[in-house]
Amino acid sequence: MKNLKPIPQFKNENQEREFWAKNDSADFIDWSKGEKAIFPNLKPSTKTISLRMPESLLSRIKTQANRQDVPYQSYIKTLLDQDMIEMEKA
């Protein structure tokens, strides 16, 4: 591990922004000791996609979404997210 430089005191946010734009944070921070942060209240960015599926499947999805009183697109996202969580556990 290399010797880390001390982080200077900044007079304002603009000065700090300029400093970090010109300097490598690895010279000042030991990122190997970083911890994963969770921000549950941040709204994730979304991307619009086009997805083709059999009409019968879409009909079944819409029926289930309606039973749960949620938009079918949201229901699809929930199903995909749950499936990904299960796959990542394996």
pLDDT the model gives residue 62:
98
Q: Is residue 23 part of a domain?
A: yes
Identify whether residues 49 and 86 lie together within a single domain: yes
Per the prediction, the chain carries an average pLDDT of 93
pLDDT the model gives residue 1:
57
Instruction: Produce one character per residue of 30-64: b if its CB has 16 or more CB atoms within 10 Å, e if not.
Output: eeeeeeeeeeeeeeeeeeeeeeeeeeeeeeebeee
Identify whether residues 16 and 49 lie together within a single domain: no
pLDDT in tens, 19-54: 999 999 999 999 998 888 888 888 878 889 999 999
Where residue 82 falls among pLDDT bands split at 50, 70, 90? Answer: very high
As for how many domains the chain has, the answer is: 2
Q: Does the pLDDT of residue 61 top 60, yes or no?
A: yes
Boundaries of domain holding 19: 1-33
